[in-house]
Amino acid sequence: MNNEMCGCGTEEKTNTAKGIVRINYKEDFELVVELLAGDKPYQLGDEDFRIDFIVMASRYTVGRTGSVCERCSVDGNKIRCFMDGHGLPPGELRAEVKVNTPDPNYADGKRLNVAIAEGTVVLVKDNTRFDGAVVKANIPVALVDAYQLAKAHGYKGTIDEYYATFSDVSALLESMRGVAEEERERSTSEEARNKAEQQRQDNEDTRQRADKDRTTAESYRASSEKERAKAEKQRNDTEVSRNKNEQQRQTDEDARQKAETERQTAEKERATAEGKRETDTKDAIERVNERMKTLRDGTDGKSAYDIWKAQGNSGTEADFVSSLGNAMKIVTHEETETTVTLRPFEEHRWKGKPKTLDITMEKPQQGELAAEYRMCFNTPDDAATTVALPNNVQFTVEPAFRFGCYYELSLVSNDNEYKGLFAEWRRKL
């Protein structure tokens, strides 16, 4: 049963007659309700009952249902009511008693008796007036006896005869109680089954959510695995590319070392040829000086330049002196000048990075011993320069022109051939 709080108002005005019990409305207290049938005590059996204590629109309920008492206890025809946290406002306390007595004439086998009694208890805002340790109030309740009601309606038999009429329905009443008990048990079982079904449904929902989470996690795992495999492949490809680049680097380094060795060898051969050329030039100068001495001591009166020209050479005296001193003349070409003739003792240099060079050789003049020709150029960054030389040019080590390099070539005449040396420097691209 619930404590029904329907609101509260101001304290009701009550008389101050002798015997009125005044209780502070905030306190817990105990009341005793005495049940009477006429002027005789009404002994409660197993009947269900309910008592509503009312102050204005607020009420507090106690009672018994199915042999279970709530906020009360039964002692014969007296009911001890425990007003615990009642929440009633100040005012005069009234009681409404409802008792369900067995009666087969009604569909549910019970007859509801209701009695309203005015009490002598007032809830107040001031101090409580105690009358002993427990406050009691007797509220008379008049319940009409069934036999008396039957006589009032013309029944002529005795009280024993009247109640004997109920013996025939006792077994039916007991059977009905059994059926009611079974129905109660069935209802309890059905409630338990529904609860179990609800629990099963909740568990199934939880299982489905867990399975959905598992599927989602599996999808994430598969996606992560795919990304990992992709990253692994990328790593492998990168490693293969790195190994390939390292192999190419090693190959280039080997080629560089080989070219450097060839350059050093060629440089050594060039130095040897240069030494031989200087020796031949020195010998030629000594021969010329000897000849000039002979001429000076003789009577022909010819100069060294005249003797040089008499030997079939052509050119000015400056050319003659230049051939004696072996001074290299610097000749500069534009990048677009690709067809060039090399002349003795000239160093030809190209601006920019020519893509092709078509070279011819001018034969040395008579008396130009070990005439030297030089050429210097840079190859483009993306391709090697194509160099075409006469067939009678022979290199100790055949040059392999590469892109992004600087080259110096030295060619020395030897009869009808030209001996060539070259040097290579790799530029930083």
Identify the pLDDT of residue 136.
39
| Residue 1 falls inside a structural domain | no
| Residue 262 falls inside a structural domain | no
What DSSP element (H or E) covers 41?
A: strand 40-41
Cβ burial 141-176 (10 Å sphere, 16+ → b, else e): bebeebbeeeeeeeeeeeeeebeeeeeebeeeeeee
| Residue 395 falls inside a structural domain | yes
Contact between 377 and 404 (Cβ < 8 Å): no
* Residues with Cβ within 8 Å of residue 312, at least 6 apart in sequence: 365, 366, 367
Identify the pLDDT of residue 132.
31
Per the document, the length of the chain is 429
| Residue 82 falls inside a structural domain | yes
| Residue 296 falls inside a structural domain | no
| Residue 329 falls inside a structural domain | no
- The CA distance from 104 to 245, in Å, is 108
Identify the pLDDT of residue 2.
42
Among 143, 173, 190, which residue terminates a domain? 143
Backbone phi, psi, residue 388, to 5°? -110, 120
Backbone phi, psi, residue 396, to 5°? -65, -45
| Residue 270 falls inside a structural domain | no
139: its two tokens: 């509220």
Identify the pLDDT of residue 226.
93
Identify the pLDDT of residue 294.
57
Among 143, 170, 198, which residue terminates a domain? 143
Q: How far apart are the first and last CA of the chain?
A: 99
- The CA distance from 420 to 418, in Å, is 6
Among 123, 143, 163, which residue terminates a domain? 143
* Residues with Cβ within 8 Å of residue 133, at least 6 apart in sequence: none
| Residue 309 falls inside a structural domain | no
Cβ burial 201-216 (10 Å sphere, 16+ → b, else e): eeeeeeeeeeeeeeee
Domain range for residue 120?
Answer: 21-143
CATH number for the domain spanning 89: value is: 2.60.40
Give the total number of structural domains in the chain. Answer: 2
Identify the pLDDT of residue 37.
75
pTM: 0.32
8: amino acid identity, one letter: C
- The CA distance from 100 to 106, in Å, is 11
Encode the chain (429 residues) as per-residue pLDDT tens digits: 444 333 333 333 333 333 467 889 999 888 888 887 777 787 888 889 999 999 999 999 999 998 899 999 998 888 888 989 999 999 988 888 888 888 888 888 888 888 876 557 888 998 876 543 233 334 444 444 555 656 666 778 776 676 566 555 445 456 556 666 777 888 888 889 889 999 999 999 999 999 999 999 999 999 999 999 999 999 999 999 999 999 999 999 999 999 999 999 988 888 888 888 778 777 766 766 665 565 555 445 455 567 667 666 666 665 665 555 556 789 999 999 999 999 998 999 999 999 999 999 998 876 666 788 999 999 999 999 999 999 999 988 888 899 999 999 999 888 788 988 888 888 765
